[in-house]
Amino acid sequence: MRMMTFAKRCTKEILRDPINLGFGLGFPLVLLLLLSALQTNIPVSLFEIDTLTPGITVFGLSFVTLFSATLVAKDRESALLQRLYTTPLTYFDFIMGYMLPLLPIALGQTLICYLVAIPLGLTLSVNIVYAVIGMIPMVVFNISLGLLCGSVLGVKQVGGICGALLTNLSAWLSGVWFDLSLVGGFFEKIANALPFVHAVEMEKALFSGNFDLVAAHVLPILLYSVTITAIAMLCFLRQMKKQ
């Protein structure tokens, strides 16, 4: 009850911010449209919709990190959190209240990306459902990363780090724009050590029905997801105690 009240408030706060919706949904969809239009005009196969869409969905999640980080950072900078810390809301209520609302929002974003890609020529199959559900660990990673950043950074820094740095990282290191093995070396190693490329490959595997490829990619994602969530919870607790 207490926690759901707070979660409801967070949902409203996110959905009522037009910038959130504009970027979170608009930007990935525009990219999808642009790149698939580009593909129809070039002879080589660079951005085939069936491989492009899973990549865009993963990229779109970096905005979920931005939402959650911005929400937490804003709450910390206003006196609202101070007030709420003096109410019966517990530490657990706060963590869940921040994280839960973003789960359906993020999965909705993924689903919309797939749906919009259908008229662009995406192969229609039940695998879309698996691809959306399979995104859950990556979604948790992105939400937690936001909670972590929001707990240690201010609103402005969050804009820079989550808004600019992370969206670029997740784009360049995801293998969506170019084949990482072509670049190779150090760059490829870094990309493989981060979860983004694994999320893209896992989405591709789920979408194309190559389920045997999923396990290898889901493990690093799970590892990141659990680790970042744990660190985020610690950082949130620390700032809560430091009032």
Positions that interact with other proteins (CB under 8 A): 1-2, 4-6, 8-9, 12-13, 16-17, 78-80, 82-89, 241, 243
Residues 6+ apart with CB under 8 A from 32: 52, 53, 56, 113, 116, 117, 120
Q: What is the smallest separation between the CB atom of 158 and other proteins, expressed in angstroms? A: 16
Nearer of residues 87 and 168 to other proteins, judged by Cβ: 87
Place of tokens 């359906």: 104
Sign of the four-CA dihedral 87, 92, 98, 102: negative
Taking the complex as a whole, how short is the minimal distance between the CB of residue 73 and other proteins, in angstroms?
A: 13
Q: Which is nearer to other proteins, 212 or 242 (CB)?
A: 242
State the Cα angle at 190 between 183 and 170, rounded to 5°: 90
Name the minimum Å distance from CB 99 to other proteins.
Answer: 18
Which of 81, 136 has the CB closer to other proteins? 81
- Please name the residue ranges forming H helices in the chain: 2-15, 18-21, 27-40, 49-77, 80-85, 91-99, 102-117, 127-134, 136-152, 155-158, 167-172, 180-183, 185-193, 195-208, 214-241
Closest approach, Cβ 131 to other proteins, in A, equals 32
91 vs 187, beta carbon nearer other proteins: 91
Rounded to whole angstroms, the Cα distance separating 4 from 202 reads 32
Q: Toward other proteins, which CB reaches closer, 20 or 62?
A: 20
- Rounded to the nearest whole angstrom, what is the least distance from the CB of residue 78 to other proteins in the complex? 7
